[in-house]
Chain A
Amino acid sequence: MLPKRVFQFFIIYFLFIGGLMIMKYSLHLSDYVIPAPSDMLHTMVAEYRQYSLATINTMTVAIIGQVLSVIMAFVIGIIGRQSTWLGSFIKVAAYNIQAYPIVALAPILFILLGDGFITRLLIAAMICYFPVLLSVLGIMSKPIDDIEHFYRVTGRMRWQLEVKIRTFENLTQLTTVIAGSATLAMAGTIVGEFIAANAGIGYSIRIALYQSDLGKILIALFLIGITIAVYQALLELLGVAIKRTWTGK
């Protein structure tokens, strides 16, 4: 799974770079508009260490943010699955919060909480929790009648058991959503860093933009892409491992 993901990323990235090069050489564009491959290689060698550390920094924030958002989505999803007034209120509140664009909220968060770790974490969590929440709400609100009926008629159904049954029956879907939300967590963290943080790859991209250096931005995109590909593959492997443990297969 891991080599496949990385290989797929390489195909996408190099197709993109190939497209840029075709454009560069067919339109006779300078290295300022699109850097030459040798320039990119030179930038890669010069910036590799600094940009790798910045990407790891961003990824760390994104992973913690994603874990938080998954917990948050499960808590809200489990409470919101009920067709009670509280359940409906939580759903509406969750949808409303998501309606505010993060680019508008981020500067306020940075003013209130400063430009450190907590703000980046909060932005990452806010961006990636909603798709997870939607899936959790959908999964948790849909009864698995074949199994649940037995526990209901025998009076042994508890909410913990209900959640467990529905999670187990939809594990593949949940794993896919959680792996997908990793991309959003990373994107959210980068947006936050780009707007106001002092660290991370988003901050490095902002500096590169000030310096009109597309080569640095392309290297940053490479590192972001490969890191996400590896992380997503690991999440999928984790999902498979959990399923194996639960089913014993």
Chain B
Amino acid sequence: MKTKGKRFIQSAFLLLMTTLLVTNSARANDKVSYRLKWLRNVSVVGALYAETNGLFEKAGLDVQVKPGGPERDAIREIELGHADFGTASADQVLRARTKGSPVVVIAQLFQVNPLQWMYRPEDMKIDSLADLNGKTIGVTFGGNDETIMRTLLAEAGFNDRDVKLFSVRYDYTPFYQRQVQLWPVYRNAQGPIITAQLNKEGETTAFFNPADFGVKFVANSVVTHSRILAEKPELVQRFLDALLAGWEQALDSKNEKEVLAILQKYDPDTPTSIQEQQLKITRELIQPNPSIAIGAIDEKSWEQTQQIMYDQKLLPQKIDLKEILK
């Protein structure tokens, strides 16, 4: 009887331990989803690195990284509960907050906005904003580039007669045919591809960066629901730490070979030589200065972004940025 009782206690103990282990491991791998802003390419390389190298798992997270696209809106998905985290541009965040969305920013990925204008340096020189006078400039009407360009033109004191704004499409033919002199591109993603194409034709390229002329319009940031931040701050911190570690390691030149292999896996249509350049430029945009931590929120740039949007009547009122930037 004693032996039977002892066996029963041992079995019960074993069962309890197993249950505890299973429960603990399930708790350790909290399931969350992260909606990217764009497709899997160099602009999201930090998330790809963290995903491939199990950085999320190490932080006790089971993260489903979902590619974005033009029809995706991470903020809407977060509010509807389809995603826990996401990447959104500053203008999206500000528009959403003015309409009552409970979205908060937990990290700013790009310190320098990759949205810049490509031009041919043999045709023009841009030393000051006055050099834009008389030029045909490509913009996506309704897009961020229009907002940024209109701010620059207002700074220069130009009106619609001083420059010609050209509606930008998916194809670059008007730029290749020199119908348009400045064409908006994502400096790190499209920039190297078009530069390579023009180089083949013996042409050179340069980039007009609005930040060089004082316009710092914030680009992509990591966002979440204010309720998630309030109820699960520890989970948010674990996710953010893993993601930013992914960015840090992806941008470390020591890991370049591995990072290029990851990029090739997800974006096989872009040659490795181009991805090498894309990665180099992305490093400069994410961390232009080693003293600035990856993911740091540049409050002054957020203030300027809000002011620009308010001045252009894209926001009905200004909001307290302290409520958004966490």
Q: Chain A residue with minimal CB distance to B75?
A: A32
> With A and B bound together, what is the CA distance between A213 and B92 in angstroms?
10
Tell me if B157 is interfacial: C-beta within 8 Å of chain A: no
Interface size class of A (residues with CB under 8 A): 20 to 34
B202 on the A face (CB < 8 A): no
> Which one of A31, A32, A111, A198 has the highest number of Cβ atoms from chain B below 10 Å of its Cβ?
A32
A247: Cβ under 8 A from any B Cβ: no
> Smallest Cβ distance from B220 to chain A, in angstroms?
15
Residues of A within 8 A of B314 (CB): 211
Q: A30-B100, A32-B79, A212-B96 are in contact. Are A196 and B73 (CB under 8 A)?
A: no
In the assembled complex, how far is the CB of residue B88 from the closest CB belonging to chain A, in whole angstroms? Answer: 9
User: Does the CB pair A30–B99 fall under 8 Å?
Assistant: yes
B116: shortest Cβ distance to chain A, in Å?
A: 18
Interface code B108-140, partner A: CB below 8 Å = 1, 0 otherwise?
A: 000000000000000000000000000000001
Residue A100 at the chain B interface, CB threshold 8 Å: no
Which residues of chain B are near A115, meaning CB under 8 Å? 167, 169
B99 touches A31 (CB 8 A): yes
* Chain B interface size range: 20 to 34
Contacts A110-B169, A211-B95, A212-B73 given; does A31 touch B142 at CB 8 Å: no
Interface check A246, CB cutoff 8 A: no
- The answer to whether the Cβ of A174 comes within 8 Å of any Cβ in the partner chain is no
In angstroms, how far is the closest chain A Cβ from the Cβ of B177? 10
Chain A positions 195 through 214: 1 when the CB is less than 8 Å from some CB of chain B, otherwise 0: 11010000000111111110
A110 CA to B173 CA in the complex, in Å?
11
B141 contacts the other chain (Cβ, under 8 Å)?
A: yes
- Least CB separation from B169: chain A residue: A196
Q: A29-B79, A30-B79, A33-B76 are in contact. Are A196 and B170 (CB under 8 A)?
A: yes
The 0/1 profile, CB within 8 Å of A marked 1, for residues 258-296 of chain B is 000000000000000000000000000000000000000
Tell me, yes or no, whether B143 is within 8 Å of chain A by CB. yes
Chain B positions 73 through 117: 1 when the CB is less than 8 Å from some CB of chain A, otherwise 0: 101100110000000000010011001111000000000000000
Does B76 contact A32, Cβ atoms closer than 8 Å? yes
Which A residue sits closest to B166, measured CB to CB? A198
CB distance from A26 to the nearest CB of B (A): 12
Binding site for B on A (CB under 8 A): 27, 29-33, 35, 39, 107, 110-111, 115, 195-196, 198, 206-213
27 contacts across the A-B interface (CB closer than 8 A): A27-B80, A29-B80, A30-B79, A30-B99, A31-B100, A31-B101, A32-B79, A32-B95, A32-B100, A33-B76, A33-B79, A33-B80, A33-B101, A111-B171, A115-B167, A115-B169, A196-B169, A198-B167, A206-B142, A207-B142, A210-B140, A211-B95, A211-B142, A212-B75, A212-B95, A212-B96, A213-B95
